[in-house]
């Protein structure tokens, strides 16, 4: 059974939108949700939008990212890099920390050039990045800090909520997230100027400058309003399930869960670990087969999954969307006439990501209740014990 549930309150909220959907007044539910979400995450400024992908793109557009500009992104998930290319700019991939699987501040600093305008750091699996270091480095170079919080609802870093650690936070409400509206998202802001700029870009009739219609539909806001009060319960259940997974692999030196530093609180949208079994004579395919035999068949091996388009999991920059620079024709953005740099995504740019990305064990916790989590953890424990 899924974690998420609906009740009469959800249906009543949907009816309220449906009964007013011939009137623009019904779209005021978007504003209601923005106010409620701001209170839930402790933000002063919130803008709801159609998806987190739209949010990342809007954040960059608000920064006036242009052809020839560079934005530093992480190499595990593809979405930050795609958002940069939507602006016809060039994604530059910084490597990850081998323990947290998040952007390495040292690698971030290494890749800053005079063309760098911003950084997008993904709080992978719900674990906040090392934001003190990242923000400090960014401020030294006058860079905008965008947090990809798609996995990180209610995550915290040293007592501060994810999404309020840089300039802009971008949240996802797609069908697998802890607050799920099918599609949808929201942006949080600590930078009032960027808030005002994105608000102008989220247009109704005529935008202040060229923009895409990124607004959240009213009926999506109705679902979000109804589910928001339940979302902390969903995150708490994911954290309990993650604790079960961590316990299942205790004492196993060849499965290393994502490291959560003291003072950091993960939302555990994913439970993820680095598989080092091959160093101990245990091929990943053998362990994967045993997991299925023991009932731990809900795990994916590699991020993205190995069976995605038949390609073994690899860092984001190795996928054709980046290696073939045809986002806008004429070899843009990486061979754009405005671009003075030189990138080659066919090389092994990020050694840690190259090693770890295809060897991640991960599972989305959000759709499962604790009793299912218990069975999954028990199966994982039995699978591990067969090789101990």
What pLDDT score was predicted for residue 305?
Answer: 46
What pLDDT score was predicted for residue 18?
Answer: 87
Give CA–CA dist 184/355, Å, rounded: 33
Whole-prediction pTM value?
Answer: 0.94
What pLDDT score was predicted for residue 300?
Answer: 82
Q: What is the pLDDT of residues 290-341, one digit of tens each?
A: 999 999 988 887 765 444 455 567 899 988 888 886 667 777 888 888 899 9
> Long-range contacts of range 188-193, CB-CB < 8 Å, 24 or more positions apart?
188/38, 188/41, 188/43, 188/45, 188/46, 188/149, 188/163, 188/164, 189/43, 189/44, 189/45, 189/46, 189/47, 190/44, 190/45, 190/164, 190/166, 191/144, 191/167, 192/45
**Among 359, 346, 358, residue whose Cα is nearest residue 318:** 346
> What single-letter DSSP state applies at residue 368?
-
Going residue by residue through the chain, which has 388 residues, state the pLDDT in tens, using 9 for 90 and above. Answer: 456 778 898 899 989 888 887 556 557 899 999 999 999 999 999 999 999 999 999 999 999 999 999 999 999 999 999 999 999 999 999 999 999 999 999 999 999 999 999 999 999 999 999 999 999 999 999 999 999 999 999 999 999 999 999 999 999 999 889 999 999 999 999 999 999 999 988 766 677 778 788 889 999 999 999 999 999 999 999 999 999 999 999 999 999 999 999 999 999 999 999 999 999 999 999 999 999 999 998 888 776 544 445 556 789 998 888 888 666 777 788 888 889 999 999 888 999 999 999 999 999 887 777 788 899 999 999 999 999 8
What pLDDT score was predicted for residue 312?
Answer: 63
- For 223-255, letters b (16+ CB in 10 Å) and e give bbbbbbebbeebbebbbebbebbbebbeebebb
Query: 375: exposed, middle or buried (C-beta count within 10 Å: 0-12, 13-18, 19+)?
Result: middle
Residue 25's alpha-carbon distances to 16, 30, 45, 195, 363, in angstroms, are 11, 10, 22, 23, 41
- What domains appear along the chain, each with residue ranges and CATH number? 8-228 (3.40.640.10), 231-310+353-385 (3.90.1150.10)
Per-residue DSSP letters for 147-199? EE-TT-TT-EETTEETTSSSSEEEEE-STTSSS--SS-EEEEES-HHHHHHHH
Give CA–CA dist 319/349, Å, rounded: 13
**Among 92, 94, 103, 52, residue whose Cα is nearest residue 69:** 92
230: three-class secondary structure by DSSP = helix
Q: What residues are annotated to the active site?
A: 177
Cis upstream peptide for 333 (omega within 30°): yes
* Cβ-proximal residues to 50 (8 Å cutoff; 6+ apart), any chain: 183, 184, 185, 213, 214, 215, 216, 217, 220
């Amino acid at each position: 059974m899924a974690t998420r549930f609906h009740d009469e309150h959800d249906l009543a909220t949907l009816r309220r939108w449906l009964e007013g959907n011939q009137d623009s007044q019904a779209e005021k539910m978007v504003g209601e949700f923005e106010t409620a979400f701001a209170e839930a995450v402790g933000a002063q400024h919130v803008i709801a939008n159609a998806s987190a992908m739209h949010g990342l793109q809007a954040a960059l557009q608000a920064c006036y990212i242009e052809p020839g500009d560079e934005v530093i992104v992480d190499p595990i998930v593809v979405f930050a890099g795609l958002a940069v290319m939507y602006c016809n700019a060039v994604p530059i991939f910084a490597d990850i920390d081998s323990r947290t699987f998040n952007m390495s501040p040292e690698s971030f600093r290494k890749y800053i050039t005079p063309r760098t305008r911003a950084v997008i750091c993904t709080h992978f699996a719900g674990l906040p990045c090392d934001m003190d270091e990242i923000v400090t480095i960014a401020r030294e170079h006058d860079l905008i800090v965008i947090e990809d919080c798609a996995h990180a609802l209610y995550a915290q870093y040293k007592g501060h909520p994810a999404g309020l650690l840089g300039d802009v936070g971008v949240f996802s409400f797609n069908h697998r997230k802890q607050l799920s509206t099918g599609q949808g998202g929201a942006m949080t802001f600590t930078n009032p100027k960027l808030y005002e700029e994105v608000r102008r870009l989220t247009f109704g009739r005529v935008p202040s400058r060229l923009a895409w219609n990124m607004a959240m539909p009213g009926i999506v806001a109705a679902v979000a309003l109804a589910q928001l009060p339940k979302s902390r319960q969903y995150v708490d259940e994911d954290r309990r399930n993650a604790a079960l997974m961590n316990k299942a692999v205790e004492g196993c030196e060849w499965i290393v869960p994502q490291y959560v530093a003291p003072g950091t609180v993960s939302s555990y949208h994913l439970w993820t670990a680095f598989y080092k079994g091959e160093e101990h004579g245990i091929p990943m395919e053998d362990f994967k087969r045993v997991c299925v035999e023991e009932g731990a068949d809900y795990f994916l091996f590699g991020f993205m999954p190995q069976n995605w388009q038949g390609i073994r999991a690899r860092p984001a920059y190795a996928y054709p969307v980046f290696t073939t620079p045809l986002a806008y024709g004429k070899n843009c953005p990486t061979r754009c006439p405005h671009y003075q740099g030189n990138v080659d995504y066919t090389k092994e740019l990020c050694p840690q990501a190259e090693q770890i990305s295809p060897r991640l064990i991960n599972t989305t916790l959000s759709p499962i209740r604790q009793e299912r989590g218990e069975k999954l953890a028990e199966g994982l424990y039995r699978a591990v014990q067969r090789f101990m």
